[in-house]
Structure 1
């Protein structure tokens, strides 16, 4: 049986962002149950129809990663009650058809959403906006459970690294649910 491929998209480009650390924690929870890769996309240019065809090499590379994945797991921060512009830019590129004969790469992909923030919302508002967009892009969204972790600093060790305490069982529950969700759509 082919192993499930999960592509994690982190909505922050910062190397040690809380959401990148959360994605790493999710990868550890998934373990050998699936292949899990964090997408690197810092080299994606701003969406510009003047350079859309042929797509820049970085965009083509990212599209291939998405096409190869069985599912997408988003990890988003919340900036001003919204998901970050870098994530919106990436989704703008991924939402465009590749060519006249090849459609966009997100349609039909199972998607899960998690997020952690230093504030009280735990990224819930940003996640709601993200669900609106990826639903419009025809992704197959697992609406429950979603993971929203507020007050990130309460789960950070003395070295500034995320150590999930109270939130770890919720991440484990979401990972289990997402694996089932993906399997049921294959």
Structure 2
């Protein structure tokens, strides 16, 4: 049975660099695994007043997380941190599903990649993200992580052309598929 990878893009913008990177990863994964980019745009701001029952978008996202063999997070960097929408999403995923079922990130295999217009390539944001994911007891593939700087120079006719960086995304894809199998 094919492994399932669920991609979580930390930006909701349709033309985001990290969405483009997720699409490139999907292309490289090909038929080696099922690869879905999660649409979590309907997840509301976390509010315990609406926690139970969970809003439909939250319940759907939780089910997708539970069904996935691996979660590949494509992490932008905003002010040396990961995005607010990604934080909000992970806050919802960190909450118990019910009185009998815990949070869905526990033990999940995670890979992290990121691309940014700046020089850090999302390295600082990824370090903060690892701290949160470790707290949630996710199983993080810490090596290799992928950080790609200077995104603006990689956009050609509105599309991401990784050039020399593509080999690093390919290495990460191969490593993540092996990590999922462990």
1-structure distance, mates of 2:162, 2:119: 16
Cα deviation code 1:25-66 (max 9, x no counterpart): 000111100000000011100000000001111110111111
Cα deviation code 1:53-106 (max 9, x no counterpart): 011111101111111101100001100000000000000000000111011111
* Other-structure match for 1:167: 165
Alignment of 1:146 with 2:145, yes or no, is yes
**TM-score, with structure 2 as normaliser:** 0.99
> Which residue, out of 161, 179, 182, partners 1:181?
179
* Other-structure match for 1:128: 127
Cα offset, 1:160, TM superposition:
2.3
Q: The residue matched to 2:160 in structure 1 has which SS?
A: coil
How many aligned positions are there? 182
1-structure distance, mates of 2:5, 2:158: 27
* Other-structure match for 1:111: 110
Gaps of 5+ in 1: none
Cα deviation code 1:138-168 (max 9, x no counterpart): 00000000000000122110x2211110110
* Other-structure match for 2:14: 15
**TM-score, with structure 1 as normaliser:** 0.97
1-structure distance, mates of 2:29, 2:56: 30
Q: The residue matched to 1:145 in structure 2 has which SS?
A: coil
Moved over 6 A (4+): none
